[in-house]
Amino acid sequence: MSAIPTSTKPARRSHLRTLRFRETLAAYGFISPWIIGFLAFMGGPIAASFILSFFSWKMISPPKFIGLRNYVSMFTTDDLFRTSIGVTFKYVIIAVPLAQILSLTLAILLNQNVRLSGFWRTVFYLPAIISGVAGAVIWKWMYNNELGVINNILANIGIHAPHWLYDKNTALIALIIKGLWNVGVPMVIYLAALQGMPRYLYEAAEIDGAGEVAKFRAITLPMLTPVIFFNLVMGTITGIQTFAEPYVMTGGGPENATLFLGLHLYHSAFGYLKMGYAAAMAWIMFIVILALTISQFMLANRWVYYETGEG
């Protein structure tokens, strides 16, 4: 085989560089709509909100630079901010674990060889595709003291029905129950993970005489830990950002019992026109989400198992 002449090597390298440049240019051309959209509708507003958090701006007057005063007053003089933080964390601590338990239980049941399994999977997933506002309106009607189906059922079986959304002791519980209605997404993820479990592990356990509980504890649960970790992270982020349900169903009441952080942010921005203060609150929410996510990743190595041996 004859060697390539030395004189043609620089031309060949130049041709390859030109080809790579054209390919790179074409790749950026294909993704340019997303880049432009992100910079215009996401990146720009994010940067603007960070700058605005150092200003006092009520929209009807020019912004006034006040430094860190928004952040300082948030933690020193705003009692509603502390209340909203407490309500949000209480909701996340209770609702997220319950949602994981319920979605995993449903996934295990739907993974069995039962009749009409496709139908039941559709039924349990259906609430996940309903708009958050529409679902909140439906549940608000269901919680109605006089006409609500929930209180009518409880009254028919002799149970004194609570006032649900109109009692500060039960309003948050009512929102947590409504949140459990939307377990379709984590349920589908758990179901996909269960169907991808290697059968040879269960066959080996059956040969050793392991029962269903032992197989779940020694095989299913460890193999599901990466999926549990993913659903916990996503559920925590979603829980902290909860807005539609309290806005539609309670408005933050009664007595601020359901005043979530997102709802307090909304009221500050569009109710009191404190745009700079609301921007600062949004960045505090971002920092809280970031800190919780990082801490979950740091703790993941202690309990998450991967088939590669990591964790």
- Looking at the structure, tell me whether residues 135 and 258 fall in a common domain: yes
Q: What is the pTM of this model?
A: 0.86
Query: Are 134 and 239 found together in one domain?
Result: yes
The label of the residue with tokens 């032992």 reads 214
Claim to verify: residue 47 and residue 75 sit in the same structural domain: no
Q: Is residue 62 part of a domain?
A: no
Give dist(CA 127, CA 106) in Å, integer: 14
Question: 99: domain CATH number?
Answer: 1.10.3720.10
- Residue 184 included in any domain: yes
What total number of domains does the chain contain?
2
pLDDT tens readout for residues 37-49: 988 888 888 999 9
Asked if residue 140 and residue 28 are part of one domain, the reply reads: no
One domain, residues 14 and 120 = no
What was the pLDDT predicted at 269? 94
Res 1: pLDDT: 46
Q: Is the omega angle on the peptide bond into residue 198 within 30 degrees of 0, that is, cis? A: no
Strands 55-56 and 64-65: antiparallel
Residues 45 and 85 in one domain: no
104-143 b/e (C-beta count within 10 Å ≥ 16 → b): bebbbebbeeeeeeeeebeebbebeeeeeeebbeebbebb
Task: Give the whole-angstrom CA distance, residue 53 versus residue 265.
Answer: 12
Q: State residue 159's pLDDT score.
A: 86
Verify that 257 and 229 share a domain, yes or no: yes
Query: Is residue 10 domain-shared with residue 149, that is, in the same domain?
Result: no
Taking residue 39's Cβ as centre, other Cβ atoms within 10 Å add up to 12
On whether residue 65 sits in a domain, the answer given is no
CA separation for the pair 289, 57 (Å, rounded): 26
Residue 306 placed within a domain: no
For residue 58, being part of any structural domain is answered with: no
* Same domain for 166 and 94: yes
Residue 309 lies in a domain: no
Residue 211, domain extent: 70-300
* Residue at 254 is within a domain: yes
Domain shared by 140 and 262, yes or no: yes
Same domain, 168 and 197: yes
d(CA 249, CA 135): 10
> Do 40 and 82 lie in a common domain?
no
Residues of the chain with pLDDT under 70: 1-9, 308-311
